[in-house]
Chains A and B, each alone.
Chain A
Amino acid sequence: PRKSRRRKPTMYWDIPPPGFAHITPLQYKAMHAAGQIPAQVVA
């Protein structure tokens, strides 16, 4: 198997929005599109 080229642990990948870890990104996007989740304020 290929050796990982990662030098340090990820800071970004697979980090859900606070409070939404229990749903999938697809569910989140569907809820957002339906207006059930307000547009996120840029952190």
Chain B
Amino acid sequence: CSRIHNKPTFSQTIVLINIYQNPQNSAQTADGSHLAGISEVEVQQHYDDFFEDVFVDVEEKYGEIEEMNVCDNLGDHLVGNVYVKFRKEEDAEKAVADLNNRWFNGRPIYAELSPVTDFREACCR
């Protein structure tokens, strides 16, 4: 994949780039000692809290969500990306415009429209 993706001018789906930070992925020590003390249960709880916080806020402010997915693989262009598919294209457009001027967890949000419509087929070939 060249990673040169066409950005759609309208879409039901938006991507929030690198917004999820898995505590296990933010590697800070080469020997992995920063992972000591983080249990699987805690990582799951962290993820669940994040998912709910994002889903509830986005749906309340911008419109009905059909599907939301969080990328947790380590591809540098994918890690922490959150994809939100709205029922209506206009809600997605509104969300991108507004989210790009909001903070999240001490960082600015980078939001854009995404061409992905079916997440099971969302593999670049």
Footprint of B on A, CB under 8 Å? Answer: 2, 4-7, 10-18, 24-26, 28-29, 32, 40, 42-43
Contacts and interface: CB of A to CB of B under 8 A. Distances in A.
A11 B49 contact: yes
A14 B103 CA distance: 4
B106 A13 contact: no
A39 B114 CA distance: 25
B104 A13 contact: yes
Nearest to B18: A42
B53 interface: yes
Interface residues of B, number: 23
Contacts of B28: 42
B52 A12 contact: no
B53 A11 contact: yes
B101 interface: yes
B103 A42 contact: no
Contacts of B53: 10-13
A5 B61 CA distance: 12
A4 B60 contact: yes
A5 B60 contact: yes
Contacts of B26: 42-43
6 contacts: A5-B60, A13-B103, A17-B103, A25-B102, A42-B21, A43-B106
B95 to A, nearest CB: 13
B71 interface: no
A36 B101 CA distance: 18
